[in-house]
């Protein structure tokens, strides 16, 4: 999955532990890029509620039905090796990838990602410091 074309070979990505901050963000990005995204989590949260509002199916508990329809499974490091969804994905030979690895490969799919982030942060920092400097410029007026 070193480039975007490799990622595009997948249509349906199922995410185990989708309610986490990172996983829910990845899910929304993937949906915005046109992938079918489904997921499961052990408990509901603001993140899972937001995903559901954004039309990403989330099952609280295990979701073997959507998992079996997927062609890639991404899971968070908190998922144990004996998790029934992870075991089932292995039985079905569905490719599985841990969230950190997936995020790294996803980032590498875009050559200029870090360059763009660096430029954006630099511009934000310049804007913030110029505002601070304007606020802290001593007035020439006497009181």
pLDDT at 22: 87
pTM: 0.75
Beta bridge partners of 14: 38, 73
**CB contact set of 122 (below 8 Å; sequence gap of 6+):** none
**CB contact set of 29 (below 8 Å; sequence gap of 6+):** none
SS3 category, 63: coil
Encode pLDDT of 14-42 as tens digits.
Answer: 999 999 988 998 898 889 888 999 999 99
Dihedral angle sign, alpha carbons of residues 131, 137, 140, 143 = positive
CB–CB of 26/102 below 8 Å? yes
Q: For residues 79 and 67, give the distance between their C-alpha atoms in angstroms, rounded to a whole number.
A: 15
Q: What is the largest CA-CA distance in the chain?
A: 79
From first to last of its 143 residues, the chain has per-residue pLDDT tens of 445 677 888 999 999 999 998 899 889 888 988 899 999 999 999 999 999 999 999 999 999 999 999 999 999 999 999 999 999 999 999 999 999 999 887 777 665 555 656 665 666 666 655 555 545 555 555 54
pLDDT at 1: 47
């Amino acid at each position: 999955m070193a480039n975007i074309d490799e990622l595009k070979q997948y249509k349906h990505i199922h995410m185990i532990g989708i309610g986490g901050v990172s996983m829910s963000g990845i899910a929304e990005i993937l949906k915005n890029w046109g992938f079918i995204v489904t997921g499961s989590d052990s408990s509901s949260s603001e993140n899972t509620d937001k995903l559901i509002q954004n039309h990403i199916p989330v099952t609280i508990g295990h979701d073997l039905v959507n998992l079996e329809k997927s062609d890639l499974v991404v899971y968070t490091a908190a998922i144990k090796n004996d998790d029934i969804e992870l075991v089932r994905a292995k039985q079905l030979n569905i490719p599985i990838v841990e969230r950190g690895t997936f995020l790294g490969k996803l980032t590498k799919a875009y050559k200029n990602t870090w360059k763009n982030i660096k430029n954006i942060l630099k511009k934000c920092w310049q804007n913030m410091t110029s505002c601070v400097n304007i606020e802290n410029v001593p007035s020439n007026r006497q009181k």
